[in-house]
């Protein structure tokens, strides 16, 4: 036998408590009878009360409390074979970590807000494999496709502009690296390698490289549906600059010494996601949660079939017996039937 909530077995101490209370009540009755008069005489005068039935009721109440405690702990008896299918799609998230993502037009900044929104999405996924690509002027696979969302969150936490020394934002490099993530040997050798593929590009939209159309066409030919999420505000905001100790030293300036402003460029992101969907992560709102129903519309493939033995929960039996004893206790009276008063 196993227990679903083994920690609740401590409630069985209440059985001993009920027994002690019953003994105390018996002792208390005897003390009161002794105060009233001689005990044997009082018992002969109070023949309408059955001491045996009173003991029966105390015993029933003790057993009932024990059964309720056992039901609360969730007894599990025997096993049954269960089969669980994990279905989903392959999703690669391409996160922009360029310097412009440090802009603070959304709190705490674009990159921090993007991380939080992606983690919220991970919390709503069920069975999908997720990979992470980070990009700026270059790109690389930060985390291969996996169902271990905790690992993806860890890689998200360390994603920052320092990981990619090449400045700028190259959507083409992000798409190319995402294609490689989908075509990794561990994925291509999978017996169900033709499952649905989705790419989510999270960026502020400032693409600095030409020739993007050919990369989009290549992704579509590979069966990849592209979604995009724009992070930031459409009005300009400066880009903060930090030293090695993480302290802000000012704002980024151009060659003429003017402060450089950055703003959300939605046009490029909408062009990327013309066959998928575009979401915006603004200052006080976000539509990225709509990615989940969009993914659910894709063909769900069986990622794994797992069989395991599961204990059969049997809390109903002790609970039903406890209720039956409670009903029985209600029908038992400590008063004798008038016809039996002459035969104590």
| pLDDT surpassing 70 at residue 72 | yes
SS3 264: coil
Kindly state the percentage of the chain with pLDDT values over 90: 36
Per-residue pLDDT at 297: 87
| pLDDT surpassing 50 at residue 344 | no
**Structure-token match 């985390």, residue found:** 143
Per-residue pLDDT at 341: 47
Per-residue pLDDT at 209: 79
Per-residue pLDDT at 173: 92
SS3 139: strand
SS3 47: coil
Per-residue pLDDT at 195: 78
Q: Which tens digit of pLDDT belongs to each residue from 292-339?
A: 999 988 876 555 555 555 667 788 888 899 899 888 887 777 666 555
Are 299 and 56 in contact by the 8 Å Cβ rule? The answer is no
Q: Which tens digit of pLDDT belongs to each residue from 137-158?
A: 999 999 999 989 999 999 999 9
d(CA 277, CA 290): 9
Per-residue pLDDT at 112: 95
User: Phi and psi for 150 in degrees, rounded to 5?
Assistant: -65, -40
Q: Which tens digit of pLDDT belongs to each residue from 169-204?
A: 899 999 999 999 998 766 544 545 567 899 999 999
Per-residue pLDDT at 55: 80
CA dist list (Å): 141 to 67, 144, 273, 291: 56, 7, 21, 22
Tokens of 139: 């790109």
Per-residue pLDDT at 118: 96
pTM of the model: 0.65
Per-residue pLDDT at 45: 55
Q: Which tens digit of pLDDT belongs to each residue from 214-235?
A: 888 989 898 999 999 999 999 8
| pLDDT surpassing 70 at residue 245 | yes
CA nearest to 148, candidates 125, 171, 170:
125
d(CA 106, CA 83): 45
| Strand residues in 60-128 grouped as ranges (E) | 75-88, 90-96
Which residues is 197 bridged to in the sheet?
A: 90, 224
Give the list of residues 6+ apart from residue 320 with CB closer than 8 angstroms, or none: none
| pLDDT surpassing 50 at residue 7 | yes
Residue range 248-255: mean pLDDT, rounded:
87
Are 72 and 5 in contact by the 8 Å Cβ rule? The answer is yes
Instruction: Write the Ramachandran bin of 246: left for phi over 0, alpha for psi from -120 to 50, otherwise beta.
Output: left
Per-residue pLDDT at 25: 83
Per-residue pLDDT at 141: 95
Whether cis (ω within 30° of 0) applies to the bond prior to 108 is yes
Q: How confident is the model at residue 37 (pLDDT cuts 50, 70, 90)?
A: low
SS3 263: coil
Average pLDDT, the chain: 83
**Structure-token match 């690296």, residue found:** 177
Spatial strand order in the sheet of 139-146: 139-146, 129-135, 90-96, 197-203, 224-231, 277-281
Q: How confident is the model at residue 121 (pLDDT cuts 50, 70, 90)?
A: very high
Which residues is 133 bridged to in the sheet?
A: 94, 141
DSSP secondary structure, 157-168, as one string: HT--GGG--S-S
């Amino acid at each position: 036998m196993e227990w679903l909530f083994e920690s609740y077995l401590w409630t069985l101490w209440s059985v001993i408590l009920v027994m002690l209370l019953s003994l105390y009540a018996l002792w208390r009755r005897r003390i009161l009878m002794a105060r009233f008069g001689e005990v044997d005489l009082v018992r002969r005068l109070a023949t309408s009360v059955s001491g045996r039935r009173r003991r029966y009721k105390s015993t029933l109440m003790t057993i009932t409390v024990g059964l309720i405690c056992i039901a609360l702990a969730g007894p599990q008896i025997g096993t049954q074979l269960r089969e669980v299918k994990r279905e989903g799609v392959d999703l690669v998230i391409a996160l922009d970590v360029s310097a412009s993502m440090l802009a603070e037009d959304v709190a705490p900044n674009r990159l921090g807000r993007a991380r939080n929104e992606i983690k919220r999405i991970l919390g709503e996924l069920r069975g999908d494999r997720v990979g992470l690509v980070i990009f700026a002027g270059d790109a690389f696979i930060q985390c291969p496709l996996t169902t271990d969302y905790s690992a993806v969150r860890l890689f998200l936490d360390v994603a920052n502009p320092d990981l990619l020394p090449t400045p700028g934002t190259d959507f083409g490099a992000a798409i190319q690296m995402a294609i490689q993530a989908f075509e990794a040997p561990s994925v291509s050798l999978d017996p169900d390698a033709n499952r649905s593929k989705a790419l989510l590009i999270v960026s502020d939209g400032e693409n600095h490289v030409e020739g993007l159309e050919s990369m989009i066409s290549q992704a579509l030919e590979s069966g990849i549906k592209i979604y995009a999420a724009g992070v930031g505000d459409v009005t300009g905001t400066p880009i903060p600059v930090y030293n090695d100790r993480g302290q802000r030293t000012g704002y980024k300036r151009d060659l003429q010494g003017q402060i450089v402003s950055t703003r959300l460029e939605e046009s490029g992101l909408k062009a990327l996601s013309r066959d998928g969907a575009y979401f915006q992560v603004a200052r006080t709102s976000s539509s990225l949660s709509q990615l989940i129903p969009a993914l659910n519309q894709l063909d769900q493939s069986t990622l794994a079939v797992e069989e395991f033995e599961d204990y059969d929960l049997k809390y109903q039996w002790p609970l039903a017996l406890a209720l039956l004893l409670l009903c029985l206790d209600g029908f038992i009276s400590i008063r004798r039937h008038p016809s039996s008063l002459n035969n104590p």
